[in-house]
Amino acid sequence: MAVYLAENASMAVRTLSANKLRSGLTMLGIIIGNASVIAMIAVGQGAQQFIGKQFQSLGTNILFVLPGIAPEGPLASSIPAESLVLDDAEAMAREVPAIAGVAPEKSDRLRVTWADKDTQVDVTGTNSEYPSVRNAGVAKGRFFSMLELQQHQRVAVLGSETARTLFGDRYPVGAKIRIRNYSFRVIGVMAEKGASMGMNQDEAIFIPISVMASQLTGEDNAYTSPSLQSISVSAKSSENMSAAQFQINNLLRLRHNVKGENDFTVRSQQELLQTADSITGMLVVLMAATSGISLLVGGIGIMNIMLVSVSERTQEIGLRKALGATHKDIQVQFTVEAVILALTGGSIGIAIAVAGTVIFAALTPLEAIVSPVAILLAVGVSGAIGLGFGVLPARNAARLDPIIALRS
Amino acid sequence: MSALEIIRLEQISKHYGQGDLEVLALHKINLLVNQGEYCAIMGPSGSGKSTAMQILGCLDRPSTGRYYLQRQAVDSLHDDELAYIRNRKLGFVFQQFHLLPQLTAMENVMLPMTYAGLPHKERHERAAYALNQVGLEQRMSYRPNQLSGGQQQRVAIARAIVNQPILLLADEPTGALDSRTSQEIMNIFQSLNDRGMTIIMVTHDFETARLCQRIIWFQDGTIINNALTPEEFREFSRGSSRTAPTAATTHL
């Protein structure tokens, strides 16, 4: 059986290479289909890995507490509310044992100037624990201290991108910048973090939250605690995550006097990662399915040309039958031809996809990974397409009457 | 010559189509061919000789009647059984050679043995032997388009005899060749016949038929005379008012 198939395969290669142009054009659909399916999967998986790494850079044991109700669903964002206040953050730091650090965040997009430079930046008021909670390093100078926060000192730590925008190559530490016409002393520059979830983390300025509330957003009064956009919490270890999440939940329900639905949301890094993962996963499936259609079209192309080929080669078929080829012999011969066309096209497509992803990976920050699974899948699908779309032409060939076939 | 029976046709009829459109191609033909005979089938166009060849070649089945090949009834065999008979017992030579252009002479000759499932080494040896018999041992690796018409037909003959058939069927084997090349081809048939091969050949050409021992004359779907010697055929055709010898040759 193996010898029989091998002989058929070598005969098919001879036949197909006798008409290279036609064979090439026949394979085109499969080549394009395979190349795009594999490339899409490679790019998609690369994107997934990239996003995964981004989240890793945020820290693995982070919890985010957001104000408002977060509806279910991966893309739903929480409804804006002012239910989260600075007192909540302080209470969490005091009362939740599973927590290592708490960093409240209150931000606003504000105008920042230095000398003749002028830019709009997200200014975030936070506390001195921010670098450790968010796993963010300080590249130059230092982050502000608890004391500076308590003393309402106007000090600022710049994101690396913002430092470049304002100061260019100059050394920013020690300079005086103006945020909303208040003068701030630059005491440090954050290390580069890159973009995450569409937000450039390097385009930022961090100042003490006390200053943010009292001087920049003008919310400071004796009766209410300033509202926050979010509270970042780091658990003592990643095993403590669910305990921390549970404890924060209980504490805030008590503090907010919630009876029914929470007016806040606690999200873990894990959940955000899963959300992003499911979105990119969905995109990969969509893209692969779209390219899968071109594979199908390629299969139809093969069937089309094989049908033409059968009607052109009636004499050959008649002769083979006269020489003793059975129904099955002819059927196998033409099916093998179709399968070889599809497999060859598939292999060329894989080669193109691999070359393409290497180039893609070199030109973009995304890593493109051609997975062996994708290649095996593509080869299998190509073979199956050849087999499936080769059956009809091969059956037509096998059914030809040798007398009619030989008449010329 | 031994009297071993190769072919026996009993009351073979063949019709195509149905009802009013029915065409009767053969009408109750009887024929006996013994081993070692060298026969020419002649007759005007539409006389049924091509249909008869197709039935003899197991490419088609008779509508009625019995066909015994080597005393085996083959008129109602299954397609695959007929394919087996064609492969092992029959050899075909066609007017248009019908070689596969992408294969070498050697590979073309090996083709019937592929379907017989012989091991590669044996195929190679037997193909080389067959090509040697037709004088093409120097051209084994040539492709058909590198060979002359006569050489191509010799490859086709080698392919026909490589499975050692009991009967060689040739359909106008010299029809596409010039007279000198035709002579070469006929010499090969003669030498095969000298070694005991039974040959049945359809031809329009009296000069070709003259080289056979026996001429079978078809007309209107029946056999008018099934055992003429070339000399008798000359007499027969002269005496027949309906078919002069010129009538047989003008169909070329």
pLDDT at A257: 85
Does B98 contact A402 at a Cβ distance shorter than 8 Å? no
Domain presence at residue B47: yes
* Segment A90-93 long-range contacts (CB within 8 Å, at least 24 positions apart): A91/A251, A91/A255, A92/A65, A92/A231, A92/A233, A92/A248, A92/A251, A92/A252
pLDDT, tens digit, 9 for 90 and up, residues A301-343: 899 999 999 999 999 999 999 999 999 999 999 999 999 999 9
Q: Domain of residue B95: give its range.
A: 35-61+77-249
pLDDT, tens digit, 9 for 90 and up, residues A167-219: 988 999 999 999 988 999 999 999 987 765 556 778 999 999 989 888 877 66
Domain presence at residue B95: yes
Domains of chain A, by residue range, sit at 2-54+275-406, 82-262
Does A324 contact B80 at a Cβ distance shorter than 8 Å? no
Nearest to A322 among B86, B96, B100 (CB): B86
pLDDT, tens digit, 9 for 90 and up, residues B94-147: 999 999 998 999 999 999 999 998 898 999 999 999 999 999 999 999 999 999
pLDDT at A202: 86
Nearest to B79 among A18, A319, A327 (CB): A327
Q: How many domains does chain B have?
A: 1
Does B59 contact A326 at a Cβ distance shorter than 8 Å? no
Q: Which residue of B has its CA nearest to A321?
A: B83
Nearest to B115 among A14, A323, A403 (CB): A323
pLDDT, tens digit, 9 for 90 and up, residues B161-203: 999 999 999 999 998 899 899 999 999 999 999 999 999 999 9
C-alpha distance from B121 to closest chain A C-alpha (Å): 13
Share of chain A above pLDDT 70, in %: 92
Does B159 contact A323 at a Cβ distance shorter than 8 Å? yes
Segment B20-47 mean pLDDT: 91
pLDDT at A222: 56
Does B92 contact A408 at a Cβ distance shorter than 8 Å? no
pLDDT value at A71 more than 80? no
Does A322 contact B116 at a Cβ distance shorter than 8 Å? no
C-alpha distance from A30 to closest chain B C-alpha (Å): 25
Nearest to B112 among A323, A328, A402 (CB): A323
Does A319 contact B60 at a Cβ distance shorter than 8 Å? no
Q: Which residue of A has its CA nearest to B117?
A: A4
pLDDT at A196: 59
Q: Residue B126 belongs to a domain with what CATH number?
A: 3.40.50.300
pLDDT, tens digit, 9 for 90 and up, residues B45-58: 889 998 999 999 99
pLDDT at B61: 92
Domain presence at residue B51: yes
pLDDT value at A75 more than 50? no
Segment A272-295 mean pLDDT: 82
